[in-house]
Amino acid sequence: MILASPSAAFPGSSPSSTGRGPPRSRELLKGSHRFNQLREALPGISPHTLTSRLRQFERHGIVTRTTYAEIPPRVEYALTPLGEGLLEVLEAMGTWAMAVPDPEPGVTA
């Protein structure tokens, strides 16, 4: 699983519009969601990237993918118990991000 940043931990855990703070799409961590619901909640993510991340999460047992034999086809994604265990981690990361001071202007790491 690729976790480039706290916001990459699970679709929908993007930081606030200021780039800091707790996830603004935390509701996505509750219940099942269709692909387009996840995509709409994550502005800027390409369908290819979202598909790739969801497949990685499925391989690692973080989400389940349920396909319904309907017309049109319906697919839903939901957290597994393992994925639900990430909620505490994401909360802790959000709390930590709020405690980190903004860098001084012009200062680079």
pLDDT at 5: 40
Domain presence at residue 68:
yes
The better pLDDT of the pair 16, 87 is held by 87
In a domain, 97, yes or no: no
How far apart (Å, rounded) are the C-alpha atoms in residues 7 and 14?
5
Q: How many domains does the chain have?
A: 1
**CATH number reported for the structural domain that contains residue 37 in this entry:** 1.10.10.10
* Domain assignment of residue 69, given as a range: 1-15+31-88
- Please state, rounded to an integer, the average pLDDT across all residues of the chain: 77
pLDDT of residue 61: 94
In a domain, 103, yes or no: no
Q: What is the pLDDT at residue 69?
A: 93
Q: Calculate ∠ Cα 10-15-28, nearest 5°.
A: 45
Q: What is the pLDDT of residue 10?
A: 47
- Sign of the dihedral through C-alpha 26, 3, 49, 78: negative
* Residue predicted with more confidence, 89 or 11: 89
Average pLDDT over residues 59-85: 93
